[in-house]
Amino acid sequence: MADEAKNNLIDSSSIEKQTSSSATIDPLSGRSLYLILGKNNQQMAQATGFIARKKNEYYLITNWHVLSGRHPQTNEIIDLQGQVPDSVWIWHHKKNLGNWILKEEKLYDISGKKRWKEHAEGRKIDIVALKLENLTEDVEIHPFDLNLANADMIPEVAMPISIIGFPLGFSGSGKFPIWKTGHIASEPELNYNNEPLFLIDATTRGGMSGSPVVLRLSGDYKMKSGGRMLSSGGRRTLFLGVYSGRLPGDTEIGRVWRPHLINEIIET
């Protein structure tokens, strides 16, 4: 979103179209969704999210700090004007892939209670799940396959990864996401700072919070079942977790929370 459009009123009936009927689209490009955070129908910021399905219900997965508008470590308000969002607008897919429609989800109910689900440890885990209520017939849901976290692959330090989101509010074609590439920066099977996350080295930017992070390889990787895959044919994808911003300073080192946290949150 351009700076000059920051305070424009959000039109929740908006439809964006991008001709793509003959294009080959990577399935994961249809999973990341462009989010707009707003207060009193005015745009505040952008972020990324994706949808998880559980027992025929759909949840928007993104970061705690995205929906709360607060820093997860300090609980301080992030917005320089001291505002926290009251709604999230989601650019959903329509029935024909390559067409989008904007739908609003309220972040608080009429009593002022937050609608999103948090982890049992609260904001310490920077992931939330917001049950979607504004799903009309013109919305086509493409849930992220959480079982990709169980792919028979063992991630290793320095392997290339992809963060699929919307850096600085930019998108690819239409509202398709941008794939940013980085590398695993800490031992992926060990927790960083005693938290259920690991680190990546990538030139991430604002707007990418809530992005899914994946490892995609075509051969020469360790398998959980033992041995190594040395075949050059076919690609395998491993879901590594949810990106949630960088470490303090100018390190270009980002956090990725582990996939099992999503189910733990939804099932609470």
Name which of 24, 71, 29, 27 is nearest 163 in CA terms.
29
Q: Find the domain containing 261 and state its range.
A: 146-266
**6 confidence band (pLDDT: 50, 70, 90):** very low
**137 part of a folded domain:** no
- State whether 127 and 154 are in the same domain: no
User: CA quadruple 79, 50, 182, 46: dihedral positive or negative?
Assistant: negative
**83 part of a folded domain:** yes
**232 confidence band (pLDDT: 50, 70, 90):** low
Amino acid at 189: E
- State whether 106 and 158 are in the same domain: no
Query: Poorest-confidence range of 53-67, 93-107, 225-239, 248-262?
Result: 225-239
**139 part of a folded domain:** no
pLDDT single digits (tens) 118-155: 999 999 999 999 999 999 999 999 999 999 999 999 99
**5 confidence band (pLDDT: 50, 70, 90):** very low
Q: Is the per-residue pLDDT at 240 higher than 60?
A: yes
**138 part of a folded domain:** no
pTM of the predicted model, to two decimals? Answer: 0.92
**20 part of a folded domain:** yes
Which of 102, 131, 160 terminates a domain? The answer is 131
Q: Is the per-residue pLDDT at 165 higher than 80?
A: yes
Count of structural domains within the chain:
2
Compute the distance between CA of residue 89 and CA of residue 33 in angstroms, rounded to an integer: 10
**140 part of a folded domain:** no
CA distances from 213 to 55, 66, 73, 130 (A): 24, 17, 22, 19
**65 part of a folded domain:** yes
Q: What is the pLDDT of residue 215?
A: 97
**67 confidence band (pLDDT: 50, 70, 90):** very high
- Which SS3 state, helix, strand or coil, does residue 149 take? helix
Compute the distance between CA of residue 130 and CA of residue 107 in angstroms, rounded to an integer: 8
Q: What is the pLDDT of residue 231?
A: 56
- State whether 200 and 116 are in the same domain: no
- State whether 21 and 68 are in the same domain: yes
Q: Is the per-residue pLDDT at 1 higher than 50?
A: no
Compute the distance between CA of residue 139 and CA of residue 51 in angstroms, rounded to an integer: 13
How many Cα atoms are found within 13 Å in the side-chain-facing hemisphere of 78?
16
- State whether 119 and 174 are in the same domain: no
The CATH number linked to 202 is: 2.40.10.10
Which of 97, 131, 165 terminates a domain? The answer is 131
- State whether 90 and 205 are in the same domain: no
Question: Could you report how far apart the first and last alpha carbons of the chain are, in Å?
Answer: 34
Q: What is the pLDDT of residue 120?
A: 97
